[in-house]
Chains A and B, each alone.
Chain A
């Protein structure tokens, strides 16, 4: 047990190191979300606080969704076959997928909070219950990274991964996105928190289902 935890720690460290070495990719993701927010701001040519809450909310989550797909798509696509073979001899597939998921979660959390900050800065912040909105962000980051990691693993095995990544992930992420939209809308309107517990529960349940599936199914992907 402790052994496998240590191995996972090593794998995580390798992910961060790799990312740090290729800083342009990380910076690219950060710039991606900032410029996406700015493009939206300009194309609505909205001054602060002019978007209705529904549009404000939906727009933010769509930006986040695209960022997530772009960020997570590269977690498997970028790695070369030789290096994958090398991991194969080192660690079990479960450890690899868990470390990828954890790494992607951290990445998504950073992107989501940065995105929220910039978005609220340029387009105004109508959120009445900020802590609940942040909870929605955290849940979203976890959910996106868990389900997109598996999809990215699937897509990376096919011929043209980038298109396939979008096609495969949009429908599968939609249930999660709908629930998140509901929670964040409740937070936006400052509704009583007891209203949102049911949705929070559903999101957590979906996360757990997808996580368990990833652990079960990833070994089959890895072998090919």
Chain B
């Protein structure tokens, strides 16, 4: 029996993404019509029942976020969709943006209706240039068909969505950096408090959700929060898009019920990753992008859901699953992760600006075989300081992968200190 689901991805590839007719023919906008007849608090209660953990990576309960914003006074309120899908190895939002954009639009309109917003913004990463244009076409089509713009479905409610392009900065995926970028300010995260729900876009109360979270909204309204929650598992409702890539046989986006598959399923099952390419062995896998934790073969039987993963020090994060085979040296890999964060740090707070390069320096020592025992203490202290004291999620999460490796593969670091690594220092046939 197939372990994959087809809810979020049911229309992908089957419809013309810019056709309202096609979208409606496959159930589109029925949730919107239903929502427009519902009390606002009813919709929020469905969101709460759904146990939807935010799909951007931080896994903040979406229903809770909605309820908080609902209780905040102030007008106007803005709806912002974070489509700055920047976590390396993550391309699940791309599937929705490209193949089913109207599900995102529908989710945003429902959110707009709940908060009585007039304007929504979708911030699409700069690299998705063609998608941005197509998305605008979809918006126009929706407006023409009366699902967007003035007097939506004759309900008297009006809402517009504006497309804003990112320009390549990973840190603009951080919600407050993203809002600054929309406001034409430098894309650096803001100091919090104040929280975005209170002082968000243009200093007004703002809801920021991920693409997939918004696409989940019509599903929740349609099937009810409880039914949605049951697709997943305890405290982590719904289905989830997972982008699998790296050294796996298949590189693609799959949809699974949270908690109904294990990591082993995701990597080895024919309909998912399909195993390791070229007959190699699995060495490790990186979950949730560069800011996520690294898992190892002995953790493969962990169910793919928040609670079970957390017990193993893992997480869903952005929904990325990057598979690495035996030819990858952990130290080399961590150096690349670190280079990424050095490149993407906004630079304003000390732990992130300065910390990443010291981590890189020390990892380089390990790579060259010149590290000492004290370097472990340094790495641990840097990682702890960055996680505890950085200003935003970027710095706080920059050492997550390093932490996983230090915890589970310390021996590999130690071997490097001795100049032993099957990848970096291969022995010849005589074992020299």
Partners in one complex: no
